Amino acid sequence: MNENDLSLLRVCVSPLTDWYAVNRRELPWRGDPSPYTVWISEIMLQQTRIEAVIPYYLRFLRELPDVAALAACDEERLLKLWEGLGYYSRARNLKKAAEKVMADYGGELPRTAAELRTLPGIGDYTAGAIASIACGEGEPAVDGNVLRVVMRLLACGDDVLSQKTKAAVSEALRQIYPRGEAAALLTEGLMELGETVCIPNAEPRCLLCPLREHCRAAQSGTAALYPVRSAKKQRRIEARTVLLLHCGERYAIEKRPGKGLLAGLWQLPNRDGALGEDELRQLLTSEGLSLLDIEPLGEAKHIFTHVEWHMLGYRVALSKASPSYVWKTAAELERDFAIPTAFRAYTKLL
């Protein structure tokens, strides 16, 4: 970023913060932001829409209102509170970070981005968000929304998927960032502008933008050309056969391995490949399961960041519960166990 770019960013601070103060949406975590509430909301908002997060956030704060409650929470209960948000490592890191805060910071989250980055699951973006919004530190929080706004403002064609670009934008903003309440307003303003006006995957709403007079891309009519992204790698496709195994009123679940995709979570039993009914019958019989009936449940798909599961489901009735699995009623599964959203097409049939 050159001096002209910095000057342009500096000029945009006041109109953006003034706009945000008047136009901001009322969201549960904005009323009285504390380091804890900003932390929880920002972790939940990663990879998840605001509308989906709100009920989870409210329920989470009712049950775990502070760091001490989070640190003491049983992991299974924590994962149940998180069920449906996905990316469960986020929840596990919340608990690890809370335990560290209790041990090293007397139960109070640190108030600088540098210290916040030392906690599990808190990277540059989350540290900047907490430090600026809740503590008034002049530290930016650069995510996809902020990158998009800045790239359009500067009409910059650098690849926003590059860490080098993200680091350059962070450093440029750091040089022009205010402190105190203005820091919070700028961080929230950049987020709000990117979410509601300078939007992704659609024509930006330049006529509504408080920065349109300063925006190089808007002035040249090229806003839709930014930001520039390098081609993403194609996701790997995996075929899975998912089993709704039941013996009477009880259903089978099992834990996934401790490492890798959906690590350590409870799941419906499943097998590699898309197995036909006859293939599945032979396989399950060879595993020693006592089959009564097999009913096809149709196809489903779930998209992870780098993998797509193409699933084929079956309801399988057994005459005897196999000790290879944990057996629970539908009510117990609903109340006590966090089953990943990947299996929702079949768990909703319980």
Catalytic residues: 42
What is the token pair recorded at 166? 């993200």
**Residue 217 phi/psi, 5° resolution?**
-70, -40
**Residue 336 phi/psi, 5° resolution?**
-115, -15
Question: 3-state class of 261 per DSSP?
Answer: coil
Altogether, the residues listed in the chain come to a count of: 350
DSSP per-residue letters across 189-249: HHHHHHHHTS-SSS---GGG-TTTTT-HHHHHT-GGG-SB-PPPPPPEEEEEEEEEEEETT
Query: Chain-centre distance of CA 296, in angstroms?
Result: 32
Place of tokens 């300078």: 198
Peptide bond into 35 cis (omega under 30): no
**Residue 139 phi/psi, 5° resolution?**
-130, 125
What stretches of the chain adopt beta strand conformation (E)?
236-247, 250-255, 266-267, 270-272, 291-303, 307-318, 326-329
Angle, in degrees to the nearest 10, between helices 181-196 and 144-154: 80
